[in-house]
Structure 1
């Protein structure tokens, strides 16, 4: 099995394949539902094979629950099989192919293989090979328009087979062969439909480039190749076989590799509304494309153009002698006059966004190909001038705004609209008089932070609460909005409940449930010989294990269980409160960020550096963080729970004051044989302390504090590892 990374954000799919030849990947389960790193593929007790993402959501499943599955096997053919107690096959990957067929694999009528988007993106792409009842077709996957076909038959087709040295098409009635494509010089193992639309056979040789069999499907030919993507989307193939991007309408996707295609200078609007009035068709006489003449309608040129403009999924058309072919995607074009002479009389129309004036010039019926270097130079000069002008305008606007806007004094109450966010189950707004009554005029102070003071309070029903007063009007407002919007809209047993909020003068107030056993740091770092008035008794390993699990559950909920992902950004023992049963609750969401989810994409947040030194992930230096920043902070806390001392992420060369036994460096844990010396000494006296469990917890903690955020597990995976390590607790 392989966890295939899809791109630099470590988004991927689960697939498998041999190490030799082309096929580093021959099957993908979750083509259009990529997963993050540290996903889990699991054969469950009910017989269902499930791929779970790092947040426990199901990305793919075999849907074989209750069907008597007792085992799984990956066969030499590349077929992944689930079988029953009588060794019968219940499910197989061969029944749901991706873009590749292996030797011995059959494709039945109605089944198809679909190309990937690119060699790094395994989502379903633009082309498919489909077995129909009377032919085998190469089609555009979005529209079903054919660009090639093979094995036309008056008899019903039964299956397509891949064999050693050939592929063959067989009758349904008796399984006899109708026709075949042979390549005796190649010991074939795989038939693959590439992202370009090419169809190739691969053998056993490492780095085998494969043999194209597209000639058997497509009659037309361009100097660059018979398949649609030979020059990529919107690419132009010259008579000499060169892929270029005509300067009149496009620019290179990657100038170093012209075969990757072009991008339009004036792309049509992405919105599917009003596409007819927002687009126009640019005419290119003499241009044609691969194989598309087979699926056409018999209309006039104006009807052809009008139909495409009304169809938001149409990206262009080919027109010749009343034959109109709509293109769902515009791939390689070439000049048919160069290939066949003027008798073809074909014209291509490419859909683009509207423009005020035309700068298109097509002398002699062809698109003029401009010098790309001049165009790029001119574009760079224009872009620089625009950026410079915009910067000047922005500076002047900011200066005028600051001059015209009076400075805030902090003495005015914030607007009531700002303080009453609308969301379901919002906490209650408390007037200042009510806050005074709850706290006894703010008599009993429980603690003080950098921007806040916490007071004890009692509600009318006798229940205890904590009232946090944010002191700084400027900093406090941001913290206030963050906490009300974040914790006010979510509820979990391992998160402190926000019961109310209010404002008066320059202060903002948050009313929390009262948590009896103070914060975790009071229990971890206060020793018997300290003169700390809040010093606590020793926490047992059982309680520490439960605390670690509770924190992990709370963070996993914030990252994956809410409608929008919540990043806490300040996880530390001081922000972990303990109730009467020593259940842990995460508090202080003053630095939290609420991030709207984007399907399967890794979310990065650009923000100013915030948090507590020692618990801040290294990527804060770049102000570009993800949920992995919370994972890093949790890793530090996890190591502190085991050691009972502050753990600092210092390099090995860093020096800690001699004799300061309250501090450990992270790298002190990296040699397992030394772990015994770094465990809280009080734990070693416990009869129930399990050193093996402690080692596993430390291992998880070290994974969490990896310097590279992409190599840290998600909180969902962390929680699963802790559950396995502490299964007996």
Structure 2
């Protein structure tokens, strides 16, 4: 087991392959020069000895950041990132040394400044990457070679040898799975007492968890109120701090020839890594926590971290996971807390929930401690230790349990609440010599099946069990401890994959790599949303999933606020939308700014798109005579809308790290900005599609009548081809300017849409010799004959191919996009 863990902990993985150090790699970036994101694989800075590289780092095929990474590691290891929470697009982004200001400037595809080095003195001559991994700006003129700005002054999650750490600087962990470009909950810095400390802050709970918060500074061997507030890691692997915090690498004897880094990992553990030059892999040579369960926030609220000796999370009795994919969100009670009702206690031996005490640990007998918790409404549990210390708890947070941990936690639950008494029996126990022994060996990898881990607990009414042995209560916990170890051994080979036991892990050293882009939403309160929308007065849209209001945030941004309907259904939809939003970034997709999940309210906040939906602009007032107040989309605008929507869908289907199907593509879900650039919105029905094409949940999703592919009503699996079908309908409506359900075919108005008749009629017309006449007959009469014949003919042919009943005959969106782009080129 220890060998497996050691191997798993030896490498911090960023899985994207390292571009070769090509001839085009630069030694410096002179003033006025720039690096283009399109040339990321060949155009970047390298340090003189080739150890470090700096340039555009491909988070995903369409998402990039500007980073410094180890170039000699087997897998790239990022040590610094400019604006880590704000990636840029794969097209049009630039990193330049501005000719006028002398600052490094990172701009996105639209020219927006994402980050700059803040240096504006005006005499920077070049940017260089040093052998230490420090990206610097060097002055020119009389100050030639002088460093006027350096990345070492603004660390992200890693400290390199020789990089001074001061009171003004912090290391901030990455956000873990789903939030890898967002800031994590953990940080390293100097506290108010000038002690170098690790902090946890999830915006609801915050605490210091290193050094040991149970101890005072003397017990932790630290100095307080030191005025220097500096720390540094040297090349030998020694870390020293002004508050006497210090440690050394296990391979200190190897000397200064070893490349090292000190990283605050996403799981909250501070680790020192050494690079094996022969293999290019990393080895952990020191870590702050041997027992990851002592890291705060590992399992979230109302959850317990089991350590036996590998960590895993389990909900406290009577609680259920808040998010099946994220333990940091903790668990929610399956019962209602009511201060007026009768309660009973559930014992959790050898367990602690650190912090959030309602008292200072008075010395009280068990009965009095229990009575105080019973009569105190805010008390959800209490801990009673053998020395009669009593701690009343207002929140169950930072939970952990392992043999020898002093004290028992007693949870307060309704008297009529039925506690689970099931336990997964993998081991048989018997008493021997006053202790417990295991009758059978721990099963091997081949003999353990997938199973749900349940926690066995005992219930009682308060004081009846005082003085009884704790062994009856320990059976479940001790069994669970060894069960966890068996499960970890059995599934160690995939523990850190997306399906791992601890997902997303804040307990392990290994990061899975940049699988997802930022999910860094602003969390708004319901009162903030009400103020922004003027108490929900300006309705700009509505649909089956909710109503959309116009709002203005405190920073004067105009936003669209979507209030989801029906709490029971909207919770699932809310989580679905958040899951999808966290994975997308494209100019033809609506950007999400934040969300509100407070009580029964489920609200999404997105950018406001000025011109509303394509449906409104294409269909509203169609039969009226156009006037100054009525805008008729011109042909070029329609073609550009078709092209933009194709780009957005192609991105969703093929360029995201996981395939995404929209499932409800229609003109109402295509918004037009001030330049009539299309942006796809409303991902309420979207689901992620596995790359093997299997996702049983998709069979329950439905789109909108008239845009639904035939497989929706069959038993066929749902694939991205349902979006291709819907896109074909949208193309026909762009050409004709009429909803397809209102077309007149063979003299019959299709009140109930029959796409087969439409497709058959178009095919027949296109097969005639007079194709130009055919295309003209199918055009929107409001265009008055002003359209590009080649583009219109191509759109009609694409639409017909997209509307094939046999999905295997439909093109994919990438080929559709290529066809449209080639037609656009020919028209220029």
TM over 0.5: no
TM-score interval, normalised by the smaller of the two chains: 0.3 to 0.5
What is the TM-score of this pair, normalised by structure 1?
0.39
Question: For the pair shown, which has the larger CA radius of gyration, 1 or 2?
Answer: 1
